[in-house]
Amino acid sequence: MIYILCVSHVLHWLLNAGEPILSVVVIGTPVIFFVSGAALSVSRSKRGIVETVINRLKRIVVPFYIYAIVAIVIAVVATLLIPRIELVGFRPVRLSDFSWTDALKVIFCQDVPHIPYMAHLWFIIPYLILACSFPLQVKLTKHVNRHVYFVACILLFVVVQSFTQNALIREVLCYNVFIVAGYLYYRKCDMRLCVLLAVIALAALLVNEFLLGGHFSPLQDHKFPPDWVFCAYSLFVLCLVSLVFWKIRVPQNRLLRIWNKRGYTMYLYQSVIFAVVAALRQHTYVSSAMPVVRVLTDAALVFVLSTALSYLTYPLERYIMDKLK
């Protein structure tokens, strides 16, 4: 989660870089799904599909609703307290701006309209679909060779993405590749297999780029909705990262444990953080600083402010969820 907020989104959302850097760093979401699958593989709790649906709704949807209300309140209060809020780059937000259509978008976890920096919420629906239905895939993997099943997931996505532009279908099938990879291969993958997959993915990308007339950059064009190029690149990078961490162990510390525990909460509230950082940039020397200084400053601010805000938002979230039990 640190990488997504402090690297990928700092570069994309705050316009801190151009191509090909923006394409190279687009890897965060596949890693989230891989980690989710890995967590399922080591989980001692073997829930059925009904229990899984109830659990995911509580863990994902309820915190989202809490966040949506808080984000709207913050935006409305900021509009009242800052008479000319447009001077810091944001348009005024009033309760009268919200329609029933906007309310439905919030209810179905699609968006929180009128609030800035909301480009991160799209993943909630694909994640819910995959997480809630994953017990069915767990049963399938018990009857099918894991390598065959993994390849079948990749081929299914590659075939289906050729015939539909429906974003949700392609997102579900694409990210299913990574949640299945995490479930099947976390701590169970041979280094040679990892190298082989990386070579195949890289070869496919090179053939597409130099022989088939395709294009890699900008990778955002391949991510929304995802296509086989995005999937291949994500698999390639995931294999490289796995090979690196095969030999290197990141020591745990208090800050990492906080981000691991409160990661989803921080992910939700990053819209508040980025609004603050963007406003600060307009009224400090950082806006005219060297690009490297600007990136490092923005990343540090996002890290520090996200950590600090979580001391308010995470307890609030826990308190409300405990009351709902």
Residue pLDDT tens, the chain, 325 long: 899 999 999 999 988 888 889 999 999 999 999 999 999 998 877 778 889 999 999 999 999 999 999 999 999 998 888 876 765 667 888 889 999 999 999 999 999 999 989 889 999 999 999 999 999 999 999 999 999 999 999 999 999 999 999 999 999 999 999 999 999 999 888 889 999 999 999 999 999 999 898 888 899 999 999 999 999 999 999 999 988 887 777 777 889 999 999 999 999 999 999 999 988 877 665 556 678 888 898 999 999 999 999 999 999 999 999 888 7
Bridge partner list, 6: none
Structure tokens at 53: 């649906």
First to last CA, the chain: 27
For residues 304 and 272, the answer to whether their CB atoms sit within 8 Å is no
- Please report, as a single letter, which amino acid is at residue 268: L
Q: In the prediction, which pLDDT does 286 show?
A: 59
For residues 264 and 60, the answer to whether their CB atoms sit within 8 Å is yes
For residue 227, CA distances in Å to 130, 171, 206, 239, 276 come to 18, 9, 16, 19, 34
- Please report, as a single letter, which amino acid is at residue 269: Y
Output the pTM of the full model.
Answer: 0.93
Q: In the prediction, which pLDDT does 119 show?
A: 87
For residues 242 and 189, the answer to whether their CB atoms sit within 8 Å is yes
Q: In the prediction, which pLDDT does 87 show?
A: 58
For residues 129 and 176, the answer to whether their CB atoms sit within 8 Å is no
DSSP designation for 226: B
Full domain range(s) for residue 81: 2-323
What are the residue ranges of helices labelled H in the chain? Answer: 2-3, 9-13, 21-24, 28-42, 49-56, 62-81, 100-107, 124-141, 146-160, 167-185, 191-210, 220-223, 228-247, 254-282, 291-323
For residue 57, CA distances in Å to 98, 124, 127, 149, 266 come to 25, 11, 11, 27, 18
Q: In the prediction, which pLDDT does 89 show?
A: 63
Neighbours of 136 (CB within 10 A): 10
Closest CA to 29 of 1, 57, 50: 1
Angle at 119 between CA 115 and CA 122, to 5 degrees: 115
* Count of the separate structural domains present in the chain: 1
Q: What is the dihedral of CA 225, 102, 73, 12, to 10 degrees?
A: 20
Q: What sign for the dihedral angle of Cα 17, 22, 25, 27?
A: positive
Q: In the prediction, which pLDDT does 324 show?
A: 82
